[in-house]
C-alpha cells in the first residue's frame, strides 16, 4: 500500500483525459460541436485537468469558485485552492453559447477537449482588476504605496495576461482528448501524477520533496535539492515545460542541463528529473501555493520554497512566498486542506570565506564574501555574453547554456530586480 500523501481534495486523482473507445467517440462528437479557440494557458490547464494534476477540479471554474478562490483561497465548497483556473472567451463566442450546451475547445486547429457549459459569466475590466489585486499584488516595493497599477501593466506579465483576457468566462466540466506535444517532445520527463506516484512507490519513498524550476539549475538550486535529499526519501526536480515569457530559457535546454547536473553531482537513485505542462502565471506567493497544491497530486508532501519563489520584479517581499503558507485557511478536514507543506529555506549563496554553499542562517561573513545566485542574474550574464561569476554554476552546465545563447540570432533584454541582484540582502 502506498505511503505517499493523498491527492488533494479527497477524491483521488480526478483525471478528465479519455482513452480508447471513449476517446474516439468523443473526438467524433467534437467534430460537430461549436469550436472555441483557447489560449496557450488554457491548453496547459486542460492537460493538467486531463492527467489529474489539478485534482479535485473536473473543469474550469464557475463564478462562485472564481470569486472564492480570489478572496478566500478556497473553492465554493471550502476546498483549498489558491489561483483561478478559468476559461475566457470573446463576447462574440459567448453570444453563440448557451448554458447546458457542449462545445469543443480548440488551440491552433487542434481539438484539445469538449466542455459542458454549466455557466457563462461576464468579466469586466473591474472584475479583472479585482482578480489582479487579489492574486498578484504583494508586499514588495512595486505593490505598496499606490505603485501597483503604475507599473504592473508594463512590468508584471501575470497582470498583463489577466487584463488581456476576453470578455466572458465559461465554467463547467471537461473531457480532455489530447496531451498535446508533451509526450513526444519530452519522453521520460513529461510524467503524469499516476506515473510519479508509481516511481516513488517503486523506490519505497514516503517523504518526497519537490524543487520547482523555470530557470537553469544553478548552485543554489543544487544546494536546495541536496538539503531535501538529506531529510527526505527523495527529490522531484520538477521543471515547467509550458510557455514562459520572452528571455526565459526554453524547456528542452533546461531539462538537458538538469540531466548533466544529475549525472555528475547527484546520487541518481535519490532524484527524479521531470516536467509539467503549465504556462507560468507569475503569481508570486499565490503561485508558490499552486505549486504545492498540484505537487500533492504528484505524490509530493514537501515543497521547497526559497527566496522570491515565482517572483516578478519587486512586486513581492523576498520571503513572502514562504509567509503566505502561514496565512492560508485551515479547516481540519484533510480532504479540503493543503497537505503538501513548505520547506522554507533561507537566502542561499556561495561564500568564499566558508568555501562552500551557505545561507543567512549558517554563514557569519560579510556580504562581500558572498556570491549571490539567481536565475535572472545568470540569464542576464549569459544573454549579454558577459562573464559568469565563479561558483555560480557547474562548468559542464554553463558550457551547455553558453552553447544555447551562442545559437540565438536575436537577444532579449533581461531586467534585473532587487531580489535577483542581491542589493536588498
Catalytic residues: 214-215
Which residues does residue 113 pair with via DSSP β-bridges, in sequence order?
105, 176
The helix or strand, by DSSP H or E, that contains position 381, with its residue range, turns out to be helix 375-383
DSSP letter at 298?
T
Which residues does residue 106 pair with via DSSP β-bridges, in sequence order?
37, 111
Rg of the chain on CA atoms, in Å: 21
Other Cβ atoms closer than 10 A to 6: 18
The full length of the chain comes to 425
Q: How far is CA 234 from CA 142, 187, 199, 302, 356, in A?
A: 37, 21, 11, 10, 23
What are the phi and psi torsion angles at 233 (to 5°)?
Answer: -75, -30
Detail the DSSP E strand segments found in 277-339: 302-305
173: Cβ contacts below 8 Å, ≥ 6 apart: 16, 58, 59, 115, 116, 118
283: Cβ contacts below 8 Å, ≥ 6 apart: 83, 135, 136, 158, 290, 310
Residue 234 and residue 262 in contact, taking contact as beta carbons nearer than 8 Å: no
Residue 126 and residue 133 in contact, taking contact as beta carbons nearer than 8 Å: no
CA–CA gap between residue 85 and residue 87 (Å, rounded): 7
Other Cβ atoms closer than 10 A to 384: 12
Is the omega angle on the peptide bond into residue 332 within 30 degrees of 0, that is, cis? Answer: no
Which residues does residue 349 pair with via DSSP β-bridges, in sequence order?
358, 372
Residue 278 and residue 242 in contact, taking contact as beta carbons nearer than 8 Å: yes
Amino acid at each position: 500500500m502506498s505511503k505517499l500523501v493523498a491527492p488533494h481534495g479527497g477524491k483521488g486523482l480526478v483525471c478528465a483525459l479519455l482513452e480508447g473507445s471513449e476517446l474516439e467517440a468523443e473526438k467524433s462528437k467534437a467534430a460537430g460541436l461549436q469550436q472555441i479557440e483557447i489560449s496557450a494557458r488554457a491548453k496547459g490547464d486542460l492537460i493538467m485537468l486531463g492527467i489529474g494534476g489539478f485534482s479535485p477540479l473536473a473543469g474550469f471554474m464557475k463564478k462562485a469558485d472564481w470569486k472564492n478562490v480570489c478572496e478566500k483561497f478556497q473553492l465554493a465548497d471550502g476546498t483549498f485552492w489558491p489561483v483561478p483556473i478559468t476559461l475566457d472567451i470573446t463576447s462574440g463566442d459567448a453570444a453563440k453559447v448557451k448554458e447546458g450546451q457542449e462545445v469543443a475547445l480548440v488551440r491552433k486547429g487542434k481539438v484539445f477537449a469538449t466542455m459542458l457549459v454549466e455557466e457563462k459569466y461576464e468579466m469586466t475590466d473591474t472584475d479583472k482588476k479585482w482578480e489582479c489585486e487579489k492574486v498578484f499584488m504583494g508586499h514588495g516595493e512595486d505593490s505598496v504605496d499606490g505603485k501597483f497599477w503604475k507599473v504592473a501593466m508594463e512590468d508584471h506579465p501575470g497582470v498583463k495576461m489577466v487584463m488581456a483576457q476576453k470578455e466572458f468566462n465559461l465554467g463547467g466540466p471537461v473531457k480532455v482528448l489530447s496531451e498535446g506535444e508533451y509526450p513526444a517532445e519530452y519522453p521520460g520527463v513529461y510524467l503524469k501524477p499516476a506515473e510519479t506516484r508509481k516511481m516513488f512507490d517503486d523506490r519505497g519513498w514516503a517523504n518526497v520533496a519537490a524543487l520547482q524550476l523555470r530557470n537553469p539549475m544553478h548552485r543554489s538550486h543544487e544546494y536546495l535539492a541536496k538539503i531535501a535529499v538529506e531529510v527526505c526519501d527523495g527529490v522531484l526536480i520538477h521543471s515547467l515545460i509550458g510557455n514562459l515569457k520572452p528571455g526565459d530559457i526554453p524547456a528542452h535546454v533546461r531539462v538537458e542541463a538538469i540531466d548533466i547536473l544529475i549525472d555528475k553531482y547527484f546520487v541518481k537513485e535519490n532524484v527524479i528529473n521531470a516536467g509539467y505542462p503549465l504556462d507560468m502565471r507569475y503569481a508570486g506567493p499565490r503561485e508558490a501555493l499552486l505549486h504545492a497544491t498540484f505537487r500533492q497530486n504528484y505524490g509530493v508532501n514537501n515543497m521547497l520554497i526559497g527566496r522570491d519563489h515565482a517572483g516578478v520584479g519587486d512586486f513581492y517581499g523576498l520571503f513572502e512566498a514562504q509567509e503566505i503558507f502561514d496565512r492560508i485557511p485551515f479547516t481540519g478536514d484533510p480532504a479540503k486542506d493543503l497537505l503538501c507543506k513548505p520547506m522554507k529555506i533561507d537566502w542561499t549563496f556561495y561564500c568564499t570565506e566558508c568555501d562552500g554553499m551557505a545561507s543567512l542562517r549558517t554563514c557569519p561573513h560579510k556580504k562581500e564574501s558572498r556570491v549571490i545566485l539567481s536565475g535572472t542574474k545568470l540569464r542576464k550574464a549569459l544573454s549579454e555574453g558577459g562573464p559568469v561569476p565563479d561558483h555560480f554554476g557547474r562548468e559542464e552546465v554553463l558550457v551547455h547554456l553558453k552553447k544555447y545563447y551562442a545559437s540565438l540570432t536575436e537577444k532579449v533584454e533581461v531586467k534585473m530586480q532587487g531580489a535577483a541582484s542581491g542589493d536588498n540582502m
